[in-house]
Amino acid sequence: MAFYRGMTCENVTINGDKGTPITAYVAKPSGAGPFPGVVLIHHLPGWSEFYIETTRRFAHHGYLAICANLYQRAGEGNPDDVAAKVRAEGGIPDAQMVGDTAAAVQWMRAQANHNGKVGLFGSCSGGRHAFIYACQKKDVDACAELWGGRVVMGKDELNAKTPVAPIDMTRELSCPLIGIFGNDDRAPSPEQVHEHEAELKKHGKSYEFHRYDGAGHGIWYWHRPLYRPEAAMDGWSKVLAFFKKHLAA
């Protein structure tokens, strides 16, 4: 095999929450496999190029990867505009996200060259969503939560779309968790990350948290001033090692 693995990328249609067809971008590494899988849950800025590129990056590292467009119901368009419309609508319901992500997990498990293991990956609101999914479902084997905001929520923040604070779901977490956080972040703040960790400890969950000084929110976003190359590369190595450990057949 060449040092740089080839891959095949395409858009597929999956049956999301309540059977609604949604589009997902998939990247499949070249070769016979079997390959472990990563399901990516995109961030607040939507089904953005960063997430499409990150989907390919996981394929480059030998993972079948899929990233569903959770904002598709808001209409077709530039991901920026679609995300702005979703924000105006108050975001997407947590339950709908779980239904859409379940469809992506099912797609993964249906692939002939899949090794039977699935990791979840999400940052920002996607980090929060990944944690929620790993608490509500039992069909994933590892979860990477990167600077998930609003895992800790006040009662005044709860509403019909986000009825339960994710931290209150911790008891149900069904797989090992890795967390990547910047100590200058305010959403989540370091205090909220400590609270998140304390709840994981309280319930005896398998987890590892990595906190970075001099970094805030969106440490890996190479296109934003939030990018912190050293922390990003260290974080990538931590996540890849975590998935290698938990997603081996």
Name which of residues 160 to 189 contact other proteins (CB under 8 A).
186-188
- The CB-of-86 to other proteins minimum distance in angstroms stands at 9
Q: Is 82 in the site for other proteins (CB under 8 A)?
A: yes
Nearer to other proteins, 62 or 188 (CB): 188
Name which of residues 125 to 144 contact other proteins (CB under 8 A).
125
Q: Is 84 in the site for other proteins (CB under 8 A)?
A: yes
* CA dist., res. 77 & res. 56, Å (int): 22
User: What phi, psi does 99 have (nearest 5°)?
Assistant: -65, -45
Helix (H) or strand (E) holding 9: strand 7-15
- Given the rule CB under 8 A, which of 57-65, 113-121, 145-153, 228-236 is the region that contacts other proteins? 145-153
Cα 194–153–165 angle (5° rounding)?
Answer: 100
- The CB-of-221 to other proteins minimum distance in angstroms stands at 9
Among 91, 93, 99, 190, indicate the residue that binds other proteins (CB under 8 A): 91
- Asked whether 123 and 227 are in contact (CB, 8 A), the reply is no
Cα R_g (the chain), whole angstroms: 17
Q: Is 49 in the site for other proteins (CB under 8 A)?
A: no
Buried b (16+ CB within 10 A) or exposed e, 9-43: eeeeebebbeeeebebbbbbbeeebebbbbbbbbb
Nearer to other proteins, 25 or 243 (CB): 25
- The CB-of-43 to other proteins minimum distance in angstroms stands at 8
* CA dist., res. 212 & res. 25, Å (int): 30
* CA dist., res. 64 & res. 86, Å (int): 28
**Residues near 159 by beta carbon (within 8 Å), at least 6 away in sequence:** 90
- Given the rule CB under 8 A, which of 5-13, 74-82, 133-141, 207-215 is the region that contacts other proteins? 74-82
Give me the 214-233 binding string for other proteins, x by CB under 8 A, dash otherwise.
--xxx-----xxx-------
Which spans of this chain sit near other proteins (rule: CB under 8 A)?
44-45, 74-78, 80-85, 87-91, 124-125, 147, 149-150, 157, 186-188, 216-218, 224-226
